[in-house]
Amino acid sequence: MTPLPAHKAFSDAADWWRGAVIYQIYPRSFADSNGDGIGDLPGIIARLDHVASLGVDGVWLSPFFTSPMKDFGYDISDFRGVDPIFGSIEDFDRLVDRAHVLGLRVIIDQVYCHTSDQHAWFVESRAGRDNARADWYVWADCRPDGSPPTNWQSVFGGPAWTWDARREQYYLHNFLAEQPALNVHNEQVQQALLETARFWLDRGVDGFRLDAVNFLMHDPALRDNPPVLAPSKRTRPFDFQQHLYNKSHPDIPLFLERLRGLVDSYGGSQFTVAEVGGELAPTEMKLYTAGPDRLHSAYGFDFLYADRLTPQLVRETISAWPGGAGEGWPSWSLSNHDAPRAISRWAAPEHRDAVARLNLLLLVALRGNVFIYQGEELGLPQAEIPREQLQDPEAIANWPQTLGRDGARTPMPWSAGAENGGFSTGRPWLSVPADHLPLAVDREEADPESILHLCRRLITRRRTDPRLSAGDIHLLDLPDPLVAFERGGGSRDLLCLFNLGDQTATTSHPGWRVIESVNGATIDHLPPLSGFIAERAP
């Protein structure tokens, strides 16, 4: 293991998150401590030194809560419990303590738009129409012909309503039928969710990533969604509709203000970031982060589901967040547990190493926060999962139209020569791909030219240079396939230039000197898929 670098001081500064780099851990696939083939909290603790060595500011943990695992932890049956497959609440406390010793903040997922159908709240709610939690979920009578109350479709396929014979009503589920939607219009539900947040804040967490936040509230009038009039490729019934009424209710920001008020009462250094997807994401990201009383940041799917990395994509994404008065703060992610890994979406196999390096340089150069998904520091490609080995319910339901999420969730390879890449001594829940083993942590540690070492260097550059972490951004007018912008304060004295094409490009920038470069880029010569960060020469 490379010695830990001098790390940014762990302080209570309220704006520590502005420009931060956060490392996402998918607990099920990070490190297994007990040989059952599933990653766990003790495994994470044992590998936190690796995360700290990257120089990141914190970790985001995907769900580890008590769950039947129909959607691998995003169907929660106890918001305040740790599922036994991941360990215990004491293990979680030890993880937070160890992370803080290493100078790492701990951000955890909070899933407030639905629960598992095995959650005690739903068990009580479905028992009848007159109990204390009868209105804690979204229930509705059928239409006169017995059909569902609206035409809403679920993300995972099929109607977003399931009939329940006990209540003789339908309940809403925007995802799996086993994930009934909470009625967050209900004041008691809001209070229960805030108490959940309080429970974890009391245990020392440093903030929350809010899952699918625009699904928090529906239209109580139960209006039908209109169809998409000019559709692109459609792989699910969900894609045929404009999602105006099953989500995105205008009262969502009011609840977010209540949550932010609670979070700020813990000293003001905790961080909140929302996941916002869908056709209204650009507007909603700004809505949910506007002013000082809503969330600190939000990230959308600009890069996460793009099938190509183009200058237009980069320019449009940057232009959407110019940094005006009252504007929130964006976060950026190229890959995560829900999206196929970026280097496999954006590059042929022979170009993946170059694209992995280019991606890291682009990420650290962007204005906003940066989320790096486990394995991205190694340049891991998307794994190919045969149909018979699929675990992901979305992939199984929509095969072969979607790549699914399993290929981004395969276990971390720690040691190329160890059983299962050092992830587990037992049979992993998903196999470790053979082509990931040459990219294992131990192999890349031993190679000073590896993507891992580049990742550390670039994160250190960003962390120690406020022009990158917090400076403004100004796009430059260059022809495709080049994209360029300046970073800094009023002087804008950093130049970030990228060649996203397959031909060498020449440029002229006298008075600048390169301080970071990937794939052979120099101040006036950019090979394909290369880039640099330069500063004004003294």
Annotated catalytic residues are 211, 275
**Backbone dihedral angles phi then psi of residue 219, each to the nearest 5 degrees:** -80, 110
C-beta separation of 509 from 524 below 8 A: yes
- Distance, CA of 238 to CA of 254 (rounded, Å): 27
List CB contacts of 412: < 8 A, sequence separation 6 or more: 29, 30, 31, 47, 374, 375, 421, 423, 441
**Backbone dihedral angles phi then psi of residue 332, each to the nearest 5 degrees:** -130, 140
- Distance, CA of 328 to CA of 291 (rounded, Å): 7
C-beta separation of 123 from 129 below 8 A: no
- Rounded-to-10 torsion of CA 226, 219, 395, 309: 70
| Assigned token pair, 450 | 């590896």
Cα 516 from chain centroid?
A: 26
C-beta separation of 143 from 151 below 8 A: no
Burial class (CB in 10 A: 0-12, 13-18, 19+), 466: middle
- Distance, CA of 480 to CA of 537 (rounded, Å): 26
List CB contacts of 525: < 8 A, sequence separation 6 or more: 504, 506, 507
- Distance, CA of 432 to CA of 427 (rounded, Å): 10
Helix axes 252-264, 281-289, angle to 10 degrees: 40
* Residue 207, helix vs strand vs coil: strand
Where does 265-385 have alpha helices with state H? Answer: 281-289, 311-319, 342-346, 352-365
C-beta separation of 169 from 142 below 8 A: yes
Pairing of strands 512-518, 530-536: antiparallel
Q: How far is CA 9 from CA 1, 56, 94, 463, in A?
A: 22, 12, 21, 11
List CB contacts of 538: < 8 A, sequence separation 6 or more: none
